[in-house]
Amino acid sequence: MPTVVFTTTSDIEASVVIALLDSQGIPSFRASGNSHSVWPMAVSALGEIRIAVADDLADDARRIIDSHRQDVGAKVVRLRDEFDDLQARIGYRFRDRGLLEHALTHKSRAAEDASGGVTDNESLEFLGDAVLGLVVADTLFHQYPNYDEGQKSKVKAAVVSTQSLARHAERLRLGEHLILGRGEEKTGGRFKQALLADGYEALIAALYLDGGLEAAEMFLRKELKDAIDEGSAQTFVRDHKSALQERLQALGRPLPEYRVSGEAGPDHRKTFSVEVVVNGEVLGTATGRAKKEAEQEAARLALARLE
């Protein structure tokens, strides 16, 4: 008869414990602990995830878990404090830690969970995008009242671009905490700009839901200050496509061609990968929420390569 040896509300903590037991030669699985259930659910009605092992291995399993609460695998970590470093970098401690875990869970991880108890962060991305847009627009409205609509829109577009958000996520080391499926993990998902930007927006939504608009606004005003100041100094996003065209003409080379090399995501959150090609040679590749955004970034990379 299986025996429950560990209970948690954290999916990532459950995964750590299962991996720990497996490394010690003790098979374990997620179960409700209900011995009368033919198909035990991995998540209880209270949202608890229960880890069970064979009855004769229960004592050994508990001993291993207790002895590794401060040292799991090669990384020192307390099982219930897996997000402490990230919260310190954010400057905010969540009352509902589940919101933070939800914000960091990619759809590839949810798709691999047979229990259906794991929810991905796409809905939080949608909400975070709206909160981000509101805070940036409000900041520009009050900080630069003399800018016209076009100038404010161009600064805002630069601040909330995929590339800009991914850079902020990288500074927070957000990629280290993303909860990914095995396939996404193997293909470098922790370093993909689109995933980092999406995770950053989901984090904004989690802050908003946990601490209200004030918490999200305090975080964003600190995070985005330099980006807004830089954008306002320029008052417009540099037209890298025109600059690339001029550079190629000066070099006597053909005009660039932009082509979409891939699309990903749902219709309301689609991202585009664009290549800039000159005489059959790919000089730059970039990803963005809009084709024009990706084209500008690809052109910037192509200019850097030519220079």
- Mean pLDDT of all residues in 266-287: 89
Comparing 2-11, 88-97, 130-139, 242-251, the range with the smallest average pLDDT is: 2-11
In percent, how much of the chain has pLDDT > 70?
Answer: 85
pLDDT value, residue 68 = 64
For the chain, what is the mean pLDDT? 83
What's the CATH fold of domain 122-234?
Answer: Ribonuclease iii, N-terminal Endonuclease Domain; Chain A (1.10.1520)
What's the CATH fold of domain 240-306?
Answer: Double Stranded RNA Binding Domain (3.30.160)
pLDDT value, residue 232 = 66
Give the architecture-level CATH label for domain 2-81.
2-Layer Sandwich (3.30)
- List the catalytic residues: 129, 201
pLDDT at 127 over 90: yes
| pLDDT band, very low/low/confident/very high, at 35 (cuts 50, 70, 90) | very low
pLDDT at 79 over 70: no
| pLDDT band, very low/low/confident/very high, at 125 (cuts 50, 70, 90) | very high
pTM score of the predicted model: 0.57
Residue with the larger pLDDT of the pair 261 and 7: 261
- Mean pLDDT of all residues in 175-179: 91
| pLDDT band, very low/low/confident/very high, at 70 (cuts 50, 70, 90) | very low
Residue with the larger pLDDT of the pair 288 and 20: 288
Residue with the larger pLDDT of the pair 9 and 178: 178
pLDDT value, residue 293 = 82
What does the domain layout of the chain look like in residue ranges? 2-81, 122-234, 240-306
pLDDT value, residue 291 = 86
pLDDT value, residue 45 = 43
Residue with the larger pLDDT of the pair 170 and 1: 170
How many other C-beta atoms lie within 10 A of the C-beta of residue 266? 10
- Mean pLDDT of all residues in 77-104: 82
